Amino acid sequence: MVSTFAPQGAGDLNFLKKLNRSSILATVRRYPGATRADIAARTQLTKATVGGVVQALLERGWLREGELQPRGGGRPGRALYLDDTHHVLLGADIGVRGLRIVACTLGGEVLMQRCVTEAPTTPEETAVRLAAMLRAMRDDPIIAERHCLGLGVTVPGPVSPEQPILRLAPNLGWVDVAFLEVLRPYLPEFDGIWLLDNEANAAAFGEFYFHDGIPPESIVYISAASGIGSGLVTGDNYPLVPRGMQGLVGEIGHTIVQPGGLYCHCGNRGCAETLVSGWAIRAALGIDDAENLVTAITARGDDAEVDATLRRAGEALGTLMLNLHHTLNPAMMVLGGSLMRLGLPLVTPALAYFEAHQNDLLRGTQRVPIKVIHDSTFTAARGAAAEVMAKAALEA
């Protein structure tokens, strides 16, 4: 059920080395400016081990040394940071309404981003277009001078946990597409890591991995767009991403929140998607599929029907958040997806509902922080880049 970047089970000395290298790298990522001594204290490794590994990572361009960190009454330590100058991570997001690509540094800083808003057609045509975008980006001088660690691609549907195959993307009409194999012939010179993941999983991973400050111990990301999905990430140095037996983890759009409610395209009644998805809102307001949802809604101005629809959708989203909270109890929740561009009329009722109902089980404990990403255009692509880095860190 769990797919992870850290191997499970047995291992040899080489595995131990990788584990420790990755752990040290993770410590620097989470605590920028940490010294070798800080790392040793945190990882429980000895100074000697840390020193050796850090030396190797400095030479390979993964880490750089910074200023001296004064220590009370002793020799100051040398601050360490991820080296943002030598490598580049590529991420691509195949969305229902367009393609987005991103290039970023080891620290998650976006160096360049590009998007087209034409909806993908067939896998082949999409691969051709995506390859052109990626090659153009990579050939840009800013990117070309760096070593590319790999490419991560996200898709709007469940991916098989065993193989990089998109199982089903109802909104694209794709079934069982091994997209990396379709794409690879068009980008033969792209070596390094290639990976495929679900859009919400990757977004969740990125929010966790590139979190500013000390990251929470777990994150649930809710992606509200044409459909609705969620991603879960947890773990310390080696983020764990549960995907499920069939890759269906996070298909929360089809959890039932209103028994006997509207019929969903999945065949059931009262699925969350009948209340809080792009197509549900379109259906409720009679907005054509060709129109841009956000512009169509803002064009209506102050409209009681719009307000009521978005409030209902927001409350359903709040219910979903509440149910995820009671099922997964994450340390942080992140709201993203194109629907977030509808802004406060949708978000306020969701947060209000969640706030009003969340904390009745354990009184007096801290509330779950919620982050709203109002423009998550590149969130999934950046998350895919984060996944590339996590994998590369183990292989480095």
Partner DNA sequence: TTCACTTAGTTAAATCTGTTAACTAAGCGC
Partner DNA sequence: GCGCTTAGTTAACAGATTTAACTAAGTGAA
**Residue 145 interacts with its own copies (CB under 8 A)?**
no
Instruction: Compute the distance between CA of residue 361 and CA of residue 365 in angstroms, rounded to an integer.
Output: 10
**Residue 394 interacts with its own copies (CB under 8 A)?**
no
Q: How far apart, in Å, are the Cα atoms of 186 and each of 7, 59, 119, 127, 382? A: 31, 33, 20, 7, 22
State which residue, 78 or 357, has the beta carbon closest to DNA: 78
**Residue 76 interacts with DNA (CB under 7 A)?**
yes
State which residue, 57 or 137, has the beta carbon closest to its own copies: 57
Q: How far apart, in Å, are the Cα atoms of 257 and each of 158, 198, 278, 318, 321? A: 21, 23, 17, 11, 11
Q: Rounded to 5 degrees, what are φ and ψ at 107?
A: -85, 0
Instruction: Compute the distance between CA of residue 100 and CA of residue 92 in angstroms, rounded to an integer.
Output: 6
Choice from 230, 309, 376, 377 touching its own copies (CB under 8 A): 230
Binding partner at 367 among DNA, its own copies, none, C-beta below 5 to 8 Å by kind = none
- Please state the closest distance from residue 369 (CB atom) to its own copies, in A: 10
**Cβ contacts of residue 75 below 8 Å, gap of 6+?**
none
| Among 250, 168, 246, residue whose Cα is nearest residue 204 | 250
Q: How far apart, in Å, are the Cα atoms of 231 and each of 98, 179, 265? A: 21, 21, 22
**Residue 300 interacts with its own copies (CB under 8 A)?**
no
Binding partner at 185 among DNA, its own copies, none, C-beta below 5 to 8 Å by kind = none
Q: Which of residues 180-209 bind its own copies (CB under 8 A)?
A: none
| Among 229, 213, 209, 211, residue whose Cα is nearest residue 221 | 229
- Please state the closest distance from residue 225 (CB atom) to its own copies, in A: 17
Residues in contact with its own copies, counted by CB under 8 A, come to a total of 70
Which range of residues in 72-80, 101-109, 237-245, 366-374 is near DNA by CB under 7 A? 72-80
Choice from 30, 86, 133, 268 touching its own copies (CB under 8 A): 268
**Residue 290 interacts with its own copies (CB under 8 A)?**
no
Choice from 66, 70, 173, 185 touching DNA (CB under 7 A): 70
Q: Report how far apart the first and last C-alpha atoms of the chain are (Å, whole number).
A: 26
Strands 218-224 and 228-234, bridge-based pairing: antiparallel
Instruction: Compute the distance between CA of residue 390 and CA of residue 239 in angstroms, rounded to an integer.
Output: 8
Q: Which of residues 333-362 bind DNA (CB under 7 A)?
A: none
Backbone dihedral region for residue 301 (phi beyond 0: left; psi -120 to 50: alpha; all else: beta): left
| Among 186, 172, 173, 57, residue whose Cα is nearest residue 130 | 186
Choice from 74, 141, 259, 286 touching its own copies (CB under 8 A): 259
State which residue, 141 or 213, has the beta carbon closest to its own copies: 213
Interface ranges with its own copies (CB under 8 A): 1-2, 6, 8-13, 15-16, 19-20, 23-24, 26, 43-45, 158, 167-168, 216-218, 230, 234-238, 240, 242-252, 254-259, 266-268, 315, 319, 322-331, 357, 360-362, 365, 368
Interface ranges with DNA (CB under 7 A): 12-14, 16-17, 20, 35-38, 44-49, 51-55, 68, 70-78
